[in-house]
């Protein structure tokens, strides 16, 4: 028994990928909304965060909240980023995300840097 190979055009393939992306994004959004409608409503575990500042209160002349992105180079399921966003929203100030890109980091290859610097899909 021989199987016939189905030819798929680039356009058809792109449509399938787009449909899968849309479905995935809708599912992700739905699951996120089941947990909490907003980051301000989310029941956050503060033990997941290490505060770098000794300040207990945010001074009135503060220009924003800084999140120093280091190990967790992602947005999804990034607990510290969620906490920083929540803090910024609570105090109605901007959130600044800092990532220091070093020329030599743990023997990273060009491919690794390319992945870090490209926009996500």
pLDDT digits (tens, 9 = 90+) for 37-76: 777 777 777 787 777 778 778 888 889 998 888 777 777 7
Q: How far is CA 59 from the centre of its chain?
A: 28
pLDDT of residue 14: 56
Confidence of residue 4 (pLDDT cuts 50, 70, 90): low
Percent of the chain with pLDDT over 70: 77
C-alpha 97/C-alpha 116 separation (Å) is: 15
Neighbour-count burial for 38-54, b at 16+ CB within 10 Å, e otherwise: ebeebeeeeeeeeeeee
């Amino acid at each position: 028994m021989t199987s016939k190979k189905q030819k798929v055009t680039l356009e058809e393939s792109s449509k399938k990928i787009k449909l899968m992306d849309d479905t995935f994004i809708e599912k992700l959004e739905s699951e996120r909304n089941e947990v909490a409608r907003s980051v301000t409503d989310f029941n956050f575990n503060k033990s997941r965060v290490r505060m770098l500042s000794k300040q207990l209160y945010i001074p009135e002349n503060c220009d924003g909240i800084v999140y120093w992105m280091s190990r967790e180079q992602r947005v999804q399921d990034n607990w510290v980023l969620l906490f920083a966003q929540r803090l910024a929203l609570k105090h109605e100030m901007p959130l600044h995300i800092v990532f220091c890109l070093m020329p030599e980091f743990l023997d990273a290859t060009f491919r690794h840097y390319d992945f870090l610097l490209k926009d996500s899909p």
